[in-house]
Structure formats: C-alpha cells, structure tokens
Structure 1
C-alpha cells in the first residue's frame, strides 16, 4: 500500500530510477494537491516539510555531491527554449539545526506530458504526422547543439530525457551524467545500450571519441522520433540479454525507406557530421519543406 502522504495527495511520485526520484509536493501548488504543483523536485529521496518522508533513499552526502554537480550544469546552460527550466537548488541542515547545510533537491519546471520515450511507447501504433515528428527531432537537435555550444557533453542522450510540453514542444533534462567536454572521461560514454554502436567490439564505447559517440546517439534519438519506435524494440519486446546479443552481433535498426530524415540518421551513424549544429541545419532545411509546422 502506498504511504499515507501519497494516498491523500500530499506527495506525487512523478518518476524514479535506481539513483533518483522526481516528485511533487502539495505546498508548491494552490490546490492542496501535489498533482497540481507547477514544479517538481529531484533528489536522492523524498523530502516533505523538512523531513525525509519516504526514506531512506540515497546517502545525503552522495546526494549533495550529485545535485550540486547537476545544478552547475543547468547554471552553465542557462535559460534556453529547449532545456528544462531550472528553478534552484534546495539546501538545508538535514540532520538537525546544528548540521552542515546539504543539497537535498533540484527544483525544476514540470512537464504536463512526461517523457517523449513514454509518449512514443504509449502511442507506437498511432504516431503524429511526419511533419510533427520532424519538428520534434529539430527541437531535440537544437537542445543538444546548445549543450555542445556550452561546452557540455550530455552523456545520457535519450528520448527518456526529453520532456513533452503543449503543442509538441520539447525540453531536454537529466544532466546528472553530464560534464564539461574538457573533463568528460575519454574512456567512457554513459548512454543506454540501444543508443550504442553495434559491432564485435561492443560494449567498447570509447574507441571513436566522446563527441562522435554523442553524435551517434543523436542519430539514434532522431531515428526513434521519426520511426516512432524504440531502437531494437521496447523492453516488452526484447530482453536485455537479447539486446546485448543483437548489438554484439552487429545488428542495426532498420530505417524505413520513406523516413524523411534517413540520410541525416545514416550520416550520424557513419560519423560524417562534424557537429550537432550541422545536424540542426539539415533538419531545419527538412522542416522548411512542411507547411503545417513552424520552422523555429
């Protein structure tokens, strides 16, 4: 049974992974219900009225370090049309009034529709029209280009970390695994397996350079958006072991012949782009061929 604070609507869990939880609390809204709060909190566990309401969660020292680092990424990126709004770092003395101040949460803008990955998986048989999908891919690439122009490697580039707003507007989020390009590990790239290059050397992810891996992953995201399906199938369709086997055997997702971004996707997978800005320009040119979506 859910904890009482969730049952009565004081706390709403929006998303959760092994490393963090995103939640809303009623005190941030005007209705007395967490579901109506206009912002969310991200942290190692849930805090409510100054106490760890649904603990134990992550160690507070580890949470403090991780959240301060992600906050620094948001601060480097600044306000941007395609980056989730960052509203501040929540800090306080969490172990009593005499303890040192720790970061316990990031306050972030709330998406009304959740992650693009969940939208795709939930409507895989009824995708939006082709022009809307190109529009989404263009926004996604513009967000990535802003990251790169700000000197940041995303590291976990995925439609899982793109949130949908009204009128098919996207904003990128979750920069816990991001870092400055000059300090991002040269022997690691932390994206999900289905965004990795297939081949006999899988999972060796560092042999082609970090930025090339990031651009390859961008090709996977554009593929997912335009094809409106997850590369290699959803978790319900393919087990983790089968996915690893497919990658290690060099299997590639099939790009449909009528995919309007096919050449862009293949060019990314062949490491033929020099920057994400070039990808934005090519998607912009493609977007201009449609009349029903604004070419922003």
Structure 2
C-alpha cells in the first residue's frame, strides 16, 4: 500500500484534515489530526488494504520496543483501524530534491539528510526490517527539517516477502528483499538528493532495469567522494550500513573542515 504524504492539504470542518488518497492498486488514507498534530494512517478499502496497515503496526511496535530512532517517525499507537504517527510538516524529501534540480538548498543540509537516512536504515536492519521501497517520496522532513524514513506498509519483517515494488530507478537488479537491496536504493536516493533527478530519470522502467542489470549506471564523477560511495552502493560493495555510515561521516568531517578553512 502506497501511503505517501502529498504536499496538498484539503481542509475539512473538523480537526481532521485529509492529506492524501494514495496511488496504486492498494489505496489508503493519511489524515492529519490537527488537535494533536499527528497523522492517522488507515486503509481506504478494509478488505484490500488492511494487511498493509497491520504490517506497518507490527513494524512500528518492534521499532518502539527497541527504543525508536530519531530518523523515524514517532509511533503513537493504534487508533480505530489505523495507526497514529508523528506529523512531519515539511512533507516529502522528494519536493526538496526537485528544488535541488533548480539549484536550491545548501550541501550541508543535504549531507545531514543523507547521514540521517543511513543511520535510520542501519537501525531498521538491526531490527530485522528491510524497507524495500526507500525513495525520496518515503523520506519525510519534520519541523526541524530533519529526515525521517517512513512508509513500512510493504516492508519485509524477519524475511517476509515485500508487498510493494519500488520504482525502477531504485530497484536492485539482484534482490530488493535484502540489506544490499536497501543500500542499492540508498545509493539512488543520494544521487537524487545531490542532483535533483532520479537515476536515468525519464527513461522507461524496463530500460532502467536492463541498464542496472548490466552494471551500467549514471555518471557520478562530478560528485567526488560522495559519488564513490554511491558507486559502492550500486555495485553491492557494502555488506551492511556500519561501513556506509562510517564512510559518510568521514566525508562530512572533511567537508566541514574545508568550510572552516575558507
């Protein structure tokens, strides 16, 4: 079920505000409860989509039992036939990636988002969860402009099959139901954050999958050290997120030291 928050609010007379109807075959609702500044995610069609909300509930409860993480939305429990979550008022990282294509946004902020997502991904993997649909549409921005990984309605829990398929630009040619599959998608996410475009944006999905299967990826030389990390993500050279986070923090430390010099 694709329960993506869209940047369009439709006001209603009560304290509940419909944020979005979701797209795709499994529709659902994300509703802002203005009285508590939280969102409620619930199935639009009980027969078709209740399993997705139930899976997301189980995942959030496990994450909460493990102490939660700053890179994830806070879980506020079950409500009626849905779940209640922290509201991220700046909505999707996707909109900021689009702004990047127009030349907006400082690199320091984008590097912070990249590390926040990587650390959240490490926490998920340690909890036995594969996201399976990590894209800029599924990373939200909270009131402090911090990145929050979201939407586990189709994720893998303890090796269960994924219930969603990610866009071709984020699909690992080997397996999406794996740590390396998530890290591959993370590489595509970093590419989009820094360039404002998905890998091979505008190309047919089938063509993109063939390119990825032949290890043919977009040029990343202009992204320097960060490009080399993206390349390692795409080529499956990270076995887990520990070394990925370590490499990213090394780049950020170097970047900040150069800013201080200048």
TM-score by length of structure 2 reads 0.81
* Structure 1: distance between partners of 2:241 and 2:122: 5
Please provide the CA RMSD for this pair: 2.6
Residue 71 (structure 2) aligns with: 82
Give the gaps of 5 or more residues in structure 1.
Answer: 1-5, 30-36, 46-57, 92-103, 198-203
Post-superposition offset of 1:262: 1.0
2:126 matches 1:121: no
Residue 85 (structure 2) aligns with: 108
Give the gaps of 5 or more residues in structure 2.
Answer: 1-9
Residue 23 (structure 1) aligns with: 31
SS in 2 for 1:24: strand
How big is each residue's C-alpha offset from its partner over 1:38-68, in whole Å with a ceiling of 9 and x where there is no partner? 11111122xxxxxxxxxxxx1x244433222
Aligned pairs (5 A) from 1:145-164: 145-164=122-141
TM-score by length of structure 1 reads 0.72
| 1:189 and 1:213 in contact (8 A); partners too | no
| 2:191 and 2:230 in contact (8 A); partners too | yes
1:271 to 232, 236, 249: 236
- Count of residue pairs brought into register by the alignment: 239
| 2:97 and 2:195 in contact (8 A); partners too | no
Query: Compared with structure 1, are the counterparts of its residues 252 and 211 closer, same or farther at alpha carbon in structure 2 (3 Å cutoff)?
Result: same
Residue 6 (structure 2) aligns with: none
* Structure 1: distance between partners of 2:49 and 2:191: 34
Give runs of ≥4 in structure 1 deviating > 6 Å: none
* Structure 2: distance between partners of 1:105 and 1:174: 13
The structure carrying a bigger helix percent of its residues is: 2
Query: Compared with structure 1, are the counterparts of its residues 259 and 225 closer, same or farther at alpha carbon in structure 2 (3 Å cutoff)?
Result: farther
| 1:232 and 1:243 in contact (8 A); partners too | no
| 1:189 and 1:210 in contact (8 A); partners too | no
2:219 to 250, 254, 270: 254
Aligned pairs (5 A) from 1:186-197: 190-197=165-172
Query: Compared with structure 1, are the counterparts of its residues 9 and 290 closer, same or farther at alpha carbon in structure 2 (3 Å cutoff)?
Result: farther
Aligned pairs (5 A) from 1:1-296: 6=10, 8-10=12-14, 11-15=16-20, 16-18=22-24, 19=26, 20-25=28-33, 28-29=34-35, 38-45=37-44, 58=45, 60-78=46-64, 79-91=68-80, 104-184=81-161, 190-197=165-172, 205-206=174-175, 210-233=178-201, 238=202, 242-249=204-211, 251-291=216-256
